[in-house]
Amino acid sequence: MSGQIAFILRRVALTLPTLFVMSLVVFLIIRLVPGDPVRTMLGFRATDANVAELRQQLGLDQSLFTQYVVWIGNLLHGDLGKDIVSHAPLSELLAQRLPVTFELTGLSMLLAVAFGVPLGVWAASGGKWVNRLTEGFVIFGIAIPDFWLGIMLVLVFTGILAVLPPTGYTPFLKNPLGNLRYMVLPVSTLAVGEAAYILRTTRGAVKAVLGRPFVTFLRAKGLSPRRILFGHVLRNAGPSIVTVIGIQVGVLLGGAIIVESLFALPGVGRLIVTGINQRNYPTVQVGVLAIATIFIVVSLITDLIVGWLDPRVADGAGT
């Protein structure tokens, strides 16, 4: 048990340097984008004096080092800063936008797992035609880019069938059914590729475990194929599947940036895209850092689940 706790503490401690490096990269990369936030805000006709004044107000006349230290210092005190265009506190903006992104990625992953895992298990233990069918879906799902699939879905379900709205959003708590109607297309767009990845991983992992000698011994003990599959094979294939799901959450969060823009969903992804266009440094920094933090937390949870599924991982023993 103490081994488990040490494993968790070690894993949590490892996330801190990752977050630090992440904050540095975000801070520097947005400043590498050509364009000046102050010029963008004030327009072409602004005088040099106006520009210098606003630059000083925003602290952008300071050295990069000072700017970074001030930003991190404020973050550590719980002050996320303000959007420099709308002047809204970023904590408020994030509180509005994060639930949308959570709903989009969460529903997509749920759908992808609900299809990918059972189909993968079926493909691993099934016959030739099941394999061909799922292989076709895997190639399709992985090869199709999100933005193309999204546009095609809008074309079919809005343009031709006229059954779903192309863009827009209404909060779930206000109008649950309306919310889900807006979510169907973006969630499906993201879920197809995810389901394909998860299907392929599950099929490979289950096939590999089915070929291991302990499965023969389980058969020799007189267990049914069902019990062997659900009691033993899935648990052994679990770490690979869970690891890929954890990594794919990152891919989903990246895909959400495109899909939110495509379907005009007011999530963090769209906040970041708008922020980049406006050279809105604080908003982009905090938005990207928020998404990175979510991914890091998900990775942490993934590792803990893997450690629980496979006791050898938590013990630090080889496989």
Catalog residues that contact other proteins under the rule CB under 8 A: 212-214, 216-225, 227, 231-232, 235-236, 309-312, 315, 317, 319
Q: Supply the minimum distance, in Å, between the C-beta of residue 305 and other proteins.
A: 13
Whose Cβ is closer to other proteins: residue 38's or residue 309's?
A: 309
Give yes or no for a contact between 279 and 37, defined as CB atoms under 8 angstroms apart. Answer: yes
Q: Vertex 238, ends 237 and 243: CA angle to 5°?
A: 110
CB nearer to other proteins: pick between 10 and 219: 219
Coil/strand/helix, residue 89: strand
**Structural contact between residues 198 and 119, judged by C-beta atoms closer than 8 angstroms:** no
* Least distance CB 61 / other proteins (angstroms): 59
Q: How far is the CB of 82 from other proteins (least distance, A)?
A: 50
Q: Of 223 and 247, which CB lies nearer to other proteins in the complex structure?
A: 223
* Shortest Å, Cβ 235 to other proteins: 5
**C-beta of 51 vs 223, nearer to other proteins:** 223
List all residues 6 or more positions away from 150 whose beta carbon is below 8 Å from its beta carbon: 185, 186, 189, 258, 259, 262, 263
- In the complex with other proteins, the residue whose CB is nearer, 75 or 305, is 305
Tokens of 222: 């007189």
Q: 109 with 245: CB under 8 angstroms?
A: yes
Residue type, 221: K
Residue ranges of alpha helices (H) inside 211-280 are 213-220, 225-227, 234-262, 268-277
User: Could you tell me if 37 and 60 are in contact, meaning their C-beta atoms sit under 8 angstroms apart?
Assistant: yes
Cβ 14 to other proteins, closest distance in Å?
A: 24
Instruction: Give the nearest distance from C-beta 240 to other proteins in angstroms.
Output: 13
Q: Is 298 helix (H, G, I), strand (E, B) or coil?
A: helix
Closer residue to other proteins, CB minimum distance, 63 or 319: 319
Would you say 148 or 214 has its CB closer to other proteins? 214
List, in order, residues 6 or more apart from 40 with CB less than 8 Å away. Answer: 278, 279
Nearest distance in Å: CB 295, other proteins:
27
Q: How far apart are CA 288 and CA 235, in angstroms?
A: 35
